[in-house]
A and B are shown apart, each in its own frame.
Chain A
Amino acid sequence: MPDLLLELRSEEIPARMQRRAAEDLKKLVTDALVERGFLYDGAKAFATPRRLALHIAGLPARGKDVREERKGPRVGAPDGAVQGFLKSSGLASLDQATVVSDPKKGEFYVAVIEKPGRDTLDVLAEILPAIIRAFPWPKSMRWGKASAQPGALRWVRPLQSIVATFGPETETPEVVPFSIDGIAAGTTTYGHRFLAPEPIEVRRFDDYVAALERAKVVLDADRRKDIILHDARDLAFARGLELVEDEGLLEEVAGLVEWPVVLLGTFDPAFLDIPAEAIRATIRANQKCFVLREAGSDRLAPAFILTSNLVASDGGVAITAGNERVVRARLSDAKFFWETDKAIKLEDRMPKLDTIVFHEKLGTQGERVKRIAALARELAPLVGADADFAERAARLAKADLVTEMVGEFPELQGLMGRTYAALQGEHASIAAAVEDHYKPVGPSDRVPTDPVAIAVALADKLDTLVGFWAIDEKPTGSKDPYALRRAALGVIRLITERQVRLRLLEQFDAAGQALSHKSADAPAKTKTNYLTDLLAFFADRLKVYLRDQGARHDLIDAVFALPGQDDLLMVVRRVEALGQFLETEDGKNLLAGYKRAANILRIEEKKDGRTYEDAPDAGLAAQGEPEERALSDALVSAREAASKAVAAEDFAGAMRALSSLRAPVDAFFDKVTVNADDPALRRNRLALLNALRAATREVADFSRIEG
């Protein structure tokens, strides 16, 4: 079976786009083939800084023949119909049609159209240019003379050549005949820009990979990553050091070289005064180099790993020296930032925060810090934190945003704040809170444990959420520019994983008060609305969170349907208890009884055009069947017991109280006819069923529970 080899060679493709582009290329070409009925055995795509390549193995040489029968008019039909038939089926005359006879319809014409399968080569020549022209690069460009014309080819950077061959292993493959904007597909490519600048002739995938390898190009990004990782580890090991591994950086670096050559550089140990994270950020972000640590310790070593793209004639001496110079200059800058930052206390940076706009409608960072500090103070007793500590931590939490170091490396926010706070002698809890108040960032990030950090983390997120809700900048669909979903999830994780009791609406209100001068023009009514809306958003987020933990979404709905559910920890506990209860026999049967009662009530209430919400008359029940009386009594005591247990936050106890209803409910349905002839009895029995519905509402809205 023949194979396709496709290579699109261009000027340097951004590292971050390479992997995705290779996958897109594979998907687009294979999808287009399959859509046209061409199946294949396997496909693999590759990317280097200068090329995308695709190998599709086991394609047929040509497509399947297709035979189609098209029914025409009956024999002797008017000429118009006959002409229409001939035209649509491409026949010259009726002689080419077959006559078929049908016992019912008589004789009619049939055209047999045979379409021979197309040559795969021709289909490829049609598919490939279209895919290249419409390739989904995140950003693309025009270039050269051709760019003067509208509709010029766009590519991520100038496209230089195309290799496209197709054929079986045993023969010389053919070139897929197409060209785009003057670039004709052929069999010529080039290897490494500096190490092998001569043209290379390729035939098919196997010799292509081998030829590239000889021309100092490792086609497979994963292999380049392996080479870099192993060489880096070996070089480090030989010096008694360890590589600080960094998958993101490795992926990027593998996208910057076609022929990785790993080298080790050093820097002056005096720079190790700079915090390790800052050294790492400097070397990583600006130089795309790895840092190293002393074997078996957390201490950084004064050395780094660089990955060059060249087998230099001096063994890399000049390259290493050059990189060392740049690293030295960068670290000098970082050291300067570090020394400058240390000279100014965090609290003295506050005036600068007053000049930074957080959001046009929500004021400056300075104003925000004041709000968060006040809120953290309020929250402190609820999480068992010292109020002064919480306020102090909140006041310092954003100060590092105006330090030189964070200005240069935004990813160090929080971490630098903590370092500077510790350095100026703040209490350990306060320093930790300065870093941890951003946490948790996302579903797998660490949740702070220190109460001070919890208070500030909650205050920070609640201020953000209430603020953006107040100005009606809520997330929509896939758009969430202020990461509000993440903030809400953060609050949820803090509350549930650190067992924090708080009434969200009260806290929303407190945060809203602090903002009130910002949204002064919003009428009071809108305000209540947006806070309820925010609570609904939390309910949604909690559902997602609990569902990920395996809870049933209908149980969460059933709990949220009760009024005043804004204490998330209690909601979670209640959902847990409800879930466990419904696993038991008593729970299942009670739910069945509830559903039956609700059904009867729905039908009868509709029929009668009224509800049966009055309390059942115990006296009337006493005159009825013994089961009726038993249920009446059981309802009174179960409801009271459930209510008491809920008040005591003993949700398992409340469920137990409800489970005592199972036997009387079963017996009632077994023995008692609800629709009695006596209207008073009937009314009272319906009221009993309603009382059952009401009793279950002590723990949840059972109507939301499925099954």
Chain B
Amino acid sequence: MSSAVDLSPQTSFQGLILTLQRFWAAQGCVILQPYDMEVGAGTFHPATTLRALGPKPWRAAYVQPSRRPKDGRYGENPNRLQHYYQFQVILKPNPENLQELYLASLDAIGVDLKLHDIRFVEDDWESPTLGAWGLGWECWCDGMEVSQFTYFQQVAGVECAPVAGELTYGLERLAMYVQGVENVYDLNFNGGEGDDKVTYGDVFLQSEQEYSRHNFEAADTAMLFRQFTDAEKACRSYLDAGAPTDEAGPHRMAQPAYDQCIKASHVFNLLDARGVISVTERQSYILRVRELAKACGAAYLRTAGGGAA
């Protein structure tokens, strides 16, 4: 029975994910599961944002479903999705051979480095909502961007010491490449053939259509505006409630507060997709989320995870 399913990275989407997980597990990463909240990118997962802070070494890899409400195309665009998967790797401090490890991971998923042109093209990464920036590259394979490679310099407004290396693989794109498929919905998801084959479209086409309708036409903006304010308020109140009781004491609620920051960020993205935030307001919303992120980062540094004694 099991022999009917091919789990090589070139023949199934899940094979690709499993291969990357095994590869990075071998590098000592903890293999986490997706964070159970809506986020715009794998970077928002506390395993990256918060764990990038402070002196403690940390290695993790995980798949993170990422929501970009504005990128919805009602299932009609072969490349753009409002919900897609990122494979995220964070290594703190970054090992000296991180580029080599990255290339070895490409080799592991079936990109023959003797046949394909891999290039590291300048890309200065910045997340205004997270108060984060880093230097690195877009990684190109035969002219296609397949990953982002960043050395975090600052996260949540805090200088990273030591610096973490972050790799983000765009899984659908990479899978399309190794499977030789032109349309994301044609990807073989499970590696089955004939009746056993499940495509990406079988899994996600309907939800792309439904969520596009939701994101652009139906999302309840009055409720979302309320939710933004509520999340902002809750974040502040959890930070206050968990504040250290004495000068040297730890913060006791940094992570629940950060959840509210994530929430505010996603609600903002939905409002933005609905087109109800003007250009000028946009900047101020981004700033408000950043202030939350910075406050959460500062709080996290006062926890055991953040390296406080």
Are B120 and A148 touching (Cβ within 8 A)?
A: no
Known: A314-B115, A322-B177, A327-B143. 5 other contacts (CB 8 A): A12-B120, A288-B143, A322-B141, A355-B278, A355-B279
Given contacts A141-B163, A147-B93, A148-B55, are A157 and B135 in contact (CB under 8 A)? yes
B229 at the interface (CB under 8 A from A): no
Instruction: Find residues 101-151 in chain A having any chain B CB closer than 8 Å to their own CB.
Output: 139-150
CA distance A287 to B121 in the complex (A): 11
Are B135 and A322 touching (Cβ within 8 A)?
A: no
A403 at the interface (CB under 8 A from B): no
Given contacts A145-B162, A194-B114, A318-B116, are A323 and B280 in contact (CB under 8 A)? no
Give the chain A neighbours of B163 by CB distance below 8 A: 141-144, 147
Binds B, one of A216-224, A303-311, A565-573, A634-642: A303-311
User: Number of contacts between A and B (CB, 8 Å)?
Assistant: 117
Give the chain B neighbours of A326 by CB distance below 8 A: 142-144
Min C-beta distance of A675 to chain B, whole Å: 72
Give the chain A neighbours of B278 by CB distance below 8 A: 355, 357
B210 at the interface (CB under 8 A from A): no
Cβ-closest 3 pairs across A and B: A322-B142, A14-B122, A12-B120
With both beta carbons as reference points, the residue of chain A lying nearest to B115 in the complex is identified as: A318
Are B99 and A11 touching (Cβ within 8 A)?
A: yes
Are A319 and B93 touching (Cβ within 8 A)?
A: no
CA distance A158 to B93 in the complex (A): 13
0/1 per residue, A10-54, Cβ < 8 Å to B? 011011100000000000000000000000000000000100000
**Total count of chain B residues near the partner, CB < 8 A:** 40
Give the chain A neighbours of B135 by CB distance below 8 A: 139-141, 156-157
Give the chain B neighbours of A459 by CB distance below 8 A: none
Which of these, A144, A322, A357, contacts B143 with CB under 8 Å? Answer: A322
B205 at the interface (CB under 8 A from A): no
**Total count of chain A residues near the partner, CB < 8 A:** 49
With both beta carbons as reference points, the residue of chain B lying nearest to A356 in the complex is identified as: B279
Are B121 and A147 touching (Cβ within 8 A)?
A: no
CA distance A687 to B279 in the complex (A): 67
B161 at the interface (CB under 8 A from A): yes
B230 at the interface (CB under 8 A from A): no
Q: List 7 A-B contacts (CB under 8 A).
A: A12-B137, A143-B93, A256-B121, A319-B117, A322-B141, A325-B182, A329-B78
B151 at the interface (CB under 8 A from A): yes
CA distance A312 to B142 in the complex (A): 11
Are A318 and B142 touching (Cβ within 8 A)?
A: yes
0/1 per residue, A282-325, Cβ < 8 Å to B? 00000111000000000000000010111011100011011101
Instruction: Find residues 451-505 in chain A having any chain B CB closer than 8 Å to their own CB.
Output: none
CA distance A15 to B122 in the complex (A): 8
Min C-beta distance of A221 to chain B, whole Å: 16
0/1 per residue, B168-185, Cβ < 8 Å to A? 000000000100001000
Give the chain A neighbours of B250 by CB distance below 8 A: none
Are B93 and A148 touching (Cβ within 8 A)?
A: yes
CA distance A357 to B177 in the complex (A): 40
Give the chain A neighbours of B79 by CB distance below 8 A: 329
Instruction: Find residues 332-371 in chain A having any chain B CB closer than 8 Å to their own CB.
Output: 332, 355-357, 360
Are B117 and A308 touching (Cβ within 8 A)?
A: yes
Task: Name the prevailing secondary structure of the A interface residues.
Answer: loop
Are B96 and A142 touching (Cβ within 8 A)?
A: no
B156 at the interface (CB under 8 A from A): no
CA distance A149 to B161 in the complex (A): 7
CA distance A257 to B151 in the complex (A): 22
Are A357 and B280 touching (Cβ within 8 A)?
A: yes
Task: Name the prevailing secondary structure of the B interface residues.
Answer: loop
CA distance A323 to B117 in the complex (A): 10
Give the chain B neighbours of A357 by CB distance below 8 A: 278-280
0/1 per residue, A232-262, Cβ < 8 Å to B? 0000000000000000000000001100000
Are A11 and B93 touching (Cβ within 8 A)?
A: no
CA distance A16 to B124 in the complex (A): 13
Are A325 and B144 touching (Cβ within 8 A)?
A: yes
Instruction: Find residues 96-136 in chain B having any chain A CB closer than 8 Å to their own CB.
Output: 96, 99, 112-122, 124, 134-136
Give the chain A neighbours of B144 by CB distance below 8 A: 322, 325-326
B48 at the interface (CB under 8 A from A): no
Min C-beta distance of B167 to chain A, whole Å: 14
Give the chain B neighbours of A314 by CB distance below 8 A: 115
Are A194 and B113 touching (Cβ within 8 A)?
A: yes
Are B114 and A148 touching (Cβ within 8 A)?
A: no
Min C-beta distance of A640 to chain B, whole Å: 61
CA distance A256 to B113 in the complex (A): 17
Give the chain A neighbours of B143 by CB distance below 8 A: 287-289, 306, 322-323, 326-327
With both beta carbons as reference points, the residue of chain A lying nearest to B57 in the complex is identified as: A145
Are A139 and B115 touching (Cβ within 8 A)?
A: no
Min C-beta distance of A179 to chain B, whole Å: 15
CA distance A321 to B177 in the complex (A): 11
CA distance A595 to B231 in the complex (A): 79
Given contacts A148-B162, A325-B144, are A194 and B94 in contact (CB under 8 A)? no
B269 at the interface (CB under 8 A from A): no
Give the chain A neighbours of B160 by CB distance below 8 A: 142, 147
With both beta carbons as reference points, the residue of chain A lying nearest to B99 in the complex is identified as: A11
Are B134 and A141 touching (Cβ within 8 A)?
A: yes
Give the chain B neighbours of A329 by CB distance below 8 A: 78-79
CA distance A144 to B93 in the complex (A): 5
Given contacts A157-B135, A356-B279, are A16 and B116 in contact (CB under 8 A)? no
B153 at the interface (CB under 8 A from A): yes
With both beta carbons as reference points, the residue of chain B lying nearest to A311 in the complex is identified as: B114
Min C-beta distance of A45 to chain B, whole Å: 20
Min C-beta distance of B279 to chain A, whole Å: 5
Are A319 and B116 touching (Cβ within 8 A)?
A: yes
Min C-beta distance of A339 to chain B, whole Å: 13
Give the chain B neighbours of A156 by CB distance below 8 A: 135
Min C-beta distance of A19 to chain B, whole Å: 14
Given contacts A147-B93, A312-B117, are A142 and B153 in contact (CB under 8 A)? yes
CA distance A319 to B117 in the complex (A): 6
0/1 per residue, A155-199, Cβ < 8 Å to B? 011101000000000000000000000000000000000100000
Give the chain B neighbours of A312 by CB distance below 8 A: 114-117
CA distance A581 to B99 in the complex (A): 72
CA distance A158 to B100 in the complex (A): 13
Are B118 and A323 touching (Cβ within 8 A)?
A: no
CA distance A326 to B182 in the complex (A): 10
Min C-beta distance of A28 to chain B, whole Å: 22
Which of these, A16, A319, A355, A360, contacts B142 with CB under 8 Å? Answer: A319
With both beta carbons as reference points, the residue of chain B lying nearest to A316 in the complex is identified as: B117
Are A144 and B96 touching (Cβ within 8 A)?
A: yes
CA distance A168 to B79 in the complex (A): 59
CA distance A146 to B160 in the complex (A): 12
Are B119 and A309 touching (Cβ within 8 A)?
A: yes
With both beta carbons as reference points, the residue of chain B lying nearest to A329 in the complex is identified as: B79
Give the chain A neighbours of B136 by CB distance below 8 A: 157
With both beta carbons as reference points, the residue of chain B lying nearest to A364 in the complex is identified as: B279
CA distance A288 to B165 in the complex (A): 27
With both beta carbons as reference points, the residue of chain A lying nearest to B182 in the complex is identified as: A325
CA distance A309 to B118 in the complex (A): 8
CA distance A689 to B184 in the complex (A): 90
CA distance A143 to B91 in the complex (A): 11
Which of these, A15, A147, A356, contacts B162 with CB under 8 Å? Answer: A147
Min C-beta distance of A10 to chain B, whole Å: 11
